[in-house]
Chain A
Amino acid sequence: MDVSCWDGTLSLNEFSRAARTFAEKWKIGNSAFPPWLWVNVPKRPFVASQQVDGFLSLENICLIRPSKVCGAEVSHLEEEETGFSEKEVAIDDATLVLSNHHEMHYYDFHIVYSASYRVPVLYFRGYYSDGCPLQLNEIEKDLPACSAKVLLESKWTFITQEEHPYLNRPWYKLHPCGTSEWMKLLFLGEAALAEKRVAIELYLVSWFSVVGQVIGLRIPIEMMNDRTN
């Protein structure tokens, strides 16, 4: 399919193909991380059976407060770097447990296909080691510094709290409404360098190269350079 007439979206079947490619490349290029797993949607025997319904899952990832900034200096980072003592002082009175060590934040990430927007959507949630959920203001601190700014301004990385489409629980999601537009731009840029066609199986790899940065999961260069199937 020619890039110029592509609208930046993909079908559910293309999504599951792209998910496979993404998971494979991730395993090869990112061995320090656990692999992305494909989860089949809980059994619904009466749903249109030609659809392969599932999502990609990466869970129990510890996002330690990033020590590197992704670019320019950001003034509020200086406050955070004063260390643990400040953090302890700032603890909410309602918290009964004071931890002596740096609190670890864990995250679950799901990449789910949206039938409405015809693009992948990133759902995530954060929690402490005891399973207590993280609030958005705490999650924001774990994100790369430039994301915090971008999040406020840019609509396509807007974070909303919504119900997970399959799990009946509240999760956070990156709003998908601009995705098809910037995916088309991404592919157009890549097409200028290589072939004119849309390699749809690489959709998620490209998609994640953008979205991953928002949440601080960087995609290794190796995954991006390999354009062969």
Chain B
Amino acid sequence: MEVQRYVWEGAIPLQIHLHESEVTTLPSPPPALFLAPRIGYLPLLIPLIKPHFAATLPPGIDTVWFDYKGLPLKWYIPTGVLFDLLCAEPERPWNLTVHFRGYPNNLLIPCEGEDSVKWNFINSLKEADYIISGNCKNVMHMSQPDQVELWNSVMNGNLEAYLRASSKLKFGIIEDEYTMKMDLRSQKSRKTTGEADMGGQMKTGKIPVRLYIWSVSEDFEDLEDMPKIDSWDKISYINRPIEIYREEGRCFTLHDALKTLIPEFLTDKSLIDEESFRVEGEDEQLVLSEEVSSNKMAAEGREISCQSVESSCTSGAAEIKLVRIQGIEPKLEIPFSWVVNNLKNPEHFLHICVCLKFAQVNSYDR
């Protein structure tokens, strides 16, 4: 899977600064530069980061955490998602502050290094398993060595090893309507009634999705001018599966998918935009070229007519300003099944960052 490879090779350049309160030497150490895998997690970088700052740290036990402009970062959110969410205008490199002391226990769940990240990953995988197949048996019955292999493949960003290890999970991939219909057309002349024409793809109705929404009250010319997110309370996090509804002659698009979770919005601007897949320059190895995507879409567009999205909803109080998945801003008419199969994270969740603009100012205090 070409696209999956690009996603796995995608990385965010980080510039890590040690928090000034923890600098005990002069001159203060220079920031450390790293490429953080999109599908990885910040705590996994700690063994690489620590040597840069070890000499200057005050004595004591390390409890490592990161912040971006003062906002403590939730370590269990994949790095790429944090970046897509918190940097409206992608910052290159992304400047983060690392702390080795003063873990904000009242805000962040504790992290004991790789083990915490691994168990969080496995639990998310179990949750995805439950959503897709109705129970956690696929994951629970995975042998210890297979689980280790799966986790290591994620840590090392090794897609081949991951595909090998996760094939034992028997999740299958979402029935991709385009591929299926193209197969059927070519098979029309031959009678293959006995064969499952899904070609090994499983029919699943429920997709594990994690939606991160932030809202603005006005239009911004430049993404840079958007108010920064200084508290997690400003982000609505929706962890709810999306159910795919299949209608005859019509594909279930990304727009349809979002609508099931956030139904009250007007026309979405990205339909009017000319750009298709926009490449974010900072993802050095994520080269999802426009030719690749538009050729694919054009070819499949001939086969199936994809009904264009309705232009407006009734009571729309909000407007979609931005939808980001793996650093990409996809067109909303793209079939949701394609988005899921290609852009999901290794724990089988699709993480979507959305910016909504409201007609009036909404403030919600907790």
**Which residues of A come within 8 Å of B, CB atoms?**
7, 42-49, 115-117, 133, 155, 160-163, 165, 167-170, 175, 177, 180-181
CA distance A176 to B236 in the complex (A): 23
Q: Which residue of B lies closest to A161 (CB)?
A: B109
Contact B232 A168 (CB under 8 A): yes
**A-B contact list, 24 entries, CB within 8 Å:** A42-B366, A43-B364, A45-B264, A45-B317, A45-B358, A46-B213, A46-B215, A46-B264, A47-B236, A48-B262, A49-B263, A116-B127, A116-B239, A160-B123, A161-B110, A168-B107, A168-B233, A169-B107, A170-B107, A175-B123, A177-B126, A177-B130, A180-B135, A181-B135
Contact B130 A163 (CB under 8 A): no
- Given contacts A44-B236, A46-B317, A168-B233, A133 and B106 within 8 Å (CB-CB): yes
CA distance A7 to B213 in the complex (A): 32
Q: Which residue of B lies closest to A119 (CB)?
A: B130
- Given contacts A42-B364, A42-B366, A116-B127, A162 and B109 within 8 Å (CB-CB): yes
Contact B261 A48 (CB under 8 A): yes
Q: Chain A residues with Cβ under 8 A from B106's Cβ? A: 133, 169-170
CA distance A41 to B364 in the complex (A): 11
CB distance from A49 to the nearest CB of B (A): 7
Q: Chain A residues with Cβ under 8 A from B358's Cβ? A: 45-46
**Number of B residues whose C-beta is below 8 Å from A?**
40
CB distance from B126 to the nearest CB of A (A): 6
Contact B260 A48 (CB under 8 A): yes
Q: Which residue of A lies closest to B232 (CB)?
A: A168
DSSP class of A's interface residues: helix, strand, loop or mixed? loop
CB distance from A14 to the nearest CB of B (A): 16
Which residues of B (53-75) have their CB < 8 Å from a CB of A?
74
B 252-265 binary contact with A (CB < 8 Å = 1; else 0): 00000000111111
Q: Chain B residues with Cβ under 8 A from A162's Cβ? A: 109
CA distance A48 to B136 in the complex (A): 27
Q: Chain B residues with Cβ under 8 A from A44's Cβ? A: 236, 364
CA distance A75 to B187 in the complex (A): 70
* B134 on the A face (CB < 8 A): yes
Contact A116 B131 (CB under 8 A): yes
Q: Chain A residues with Cβ under 8 A from B109's Cβ? A: 161-163, 170
CA distance A170 to B75 in the complex (A): 13
* B223 on the A face (CB < 8 A): no
* B81 on the A face (CB < 8 A): no
> CB within 8 A of B241: which of A48, A116, A169, A180?
A116
CA distance A115 to B242 in the complex (A): 10
* B105 on the A face (CB < 8 A): yes
B 23-66 binary contact with A (CB < 8 Å = 1; else 0): 00000000000000000000000000000000000000000000
Which residues of B (282-334) have their CB < 8 Å from a CB of A?
317-318
Q: What are the 9 A-B residue pairs with the smallest beta carbon separation, nearest first?
A: A115-B240, A170-B109, A177-B136, A168-B232, A46-B262, A116-B127, A46-B318, A43-B364, A44-B236
CA distance A160 to B241 in the complex (A): 22
CA distance A161 to B109 in the complex (A): 7
Q: Which residue of A lies closest to B235 (CB)?
A: A168
CA distance A44 to B74 in the complex (A): 21
CB distance from A6 to the nearest CB of B (A): 12
Contact A165 B264 (CB under 8 A): no
Q: Chain A residues with Cβ under 8 A from B317's Cβ? A: 45-46
